[in-house]
């Protein structure tokens, strides 16, 4: 990942980026996002790209703790890249509801899940996220990757897929490792 951090992030067409103090602000057709940059890093806006670099220590050109902060630079480069794509195209995540009688529906600002409990579970939907439900597929869309991912994890956490039957809520395409159940009559004791 250290080599990835050195590469500049290309600013897509239709997206504007500005630096206000330590906050990098991005705006595009899908919305506006900001990202707080830690003091050990500096963001350089160039023509058509953004470069993440180390802030020099004491102004003498030396780089302080370069090896320790290399992964931090790569992380912030990846965060900037994903947020650039998010304000340009938006972020979508899809969840599958798997199980006999399991279903999901949208009632007002709540996602109502009937997933094997004695009562339906209602999950409030944040105002920035759009939810669409079709049969057993829940589609979440928004402009902030952090919010969409957190809400998807919260919905999945209501009934994560169980390893024996595989029923529950999972991300689309997620592989759930199946375990073998108990075999009848194999107690292991003899008289």
Please compute the mean of the pLDDT values over residues 113-126 and round it to a whole number: 95
pLDDT at 157 over 80: yes
Confidence of residue 181 (pLDDT cuts 50, 70, 90): confident
On whether the CB atoms of residues 32 and 26 are closer than 8 A, the answer is yes
95 shares a domain with 82: no
Q: Is residue 182 part of a domain?
A: no
pLDDT at 60 over 50: no
pLDDT at 6: 81
CATH number at residue 16: 3.90.930.12
Q: What Cα–Cα distance (Å) separates residue 114 from each residue in 99, 105, 133, 138? A: 10, 9, 13, 13
pLDDT at 184: 74
How high is the mean pLDDT of the chain? 88
CA distance 148 to 128: 9
Please compute the mean of the pLDDT values over residues 21-38 and round it to a whole number: 91
pLDDT at 183 over 90: no
Q: Is residue 191 part of a domain?
A: no
pTM above 0.75, yes or no: yes
pLDDT at 61 over 50: no
Q: Is residue 24 part of a domain?
A: yes
77 shares a domain with 31: yes
95 shares a domain with 48: no
Domain of 73, in residue numbers: 2-89
pLDDT at 108: 92
């Amino acid at each position: 990942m250290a080599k990835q951090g050195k590469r500049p992030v290309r600013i897509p067409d239709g997206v504007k980026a500005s630096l206000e103090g330590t906050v990098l602000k991005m705006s595009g057709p899908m919305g506006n996002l900001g990202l707080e940059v830690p003091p050990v890093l500096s963001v350089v806006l160039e023509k058509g790209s953004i470069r993440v670099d180390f802030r020099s220590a004491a102004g003498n050109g030396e780089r302080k703790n370069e090896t320790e902060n290399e992964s931090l630079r790569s992380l912030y480069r990846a965060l900037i890249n994903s947020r650039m794509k998010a304000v340009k195209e938006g972020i979508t995540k899809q969840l599958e509801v798997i199980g006999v009688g399991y279903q999901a529906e949208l009632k007002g600002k709540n996602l109502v899940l009937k997933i094997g409990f004695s009562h339906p579970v209602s999950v409030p939907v944040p105002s920035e996220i759009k939810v669409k439900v079709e049969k057993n597929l829940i589609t979440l869309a928004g402009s902030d990757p952090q919010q969409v991912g957190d809400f998807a994890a919260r919905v999945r956490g209501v009934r994560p897929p169980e390893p024996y039957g595989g029923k529950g809520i999972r991300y689309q395409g997620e592989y759930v490792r199946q375990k073998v159940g108990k075999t009848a009559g194999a107690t292991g004791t003899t008289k």
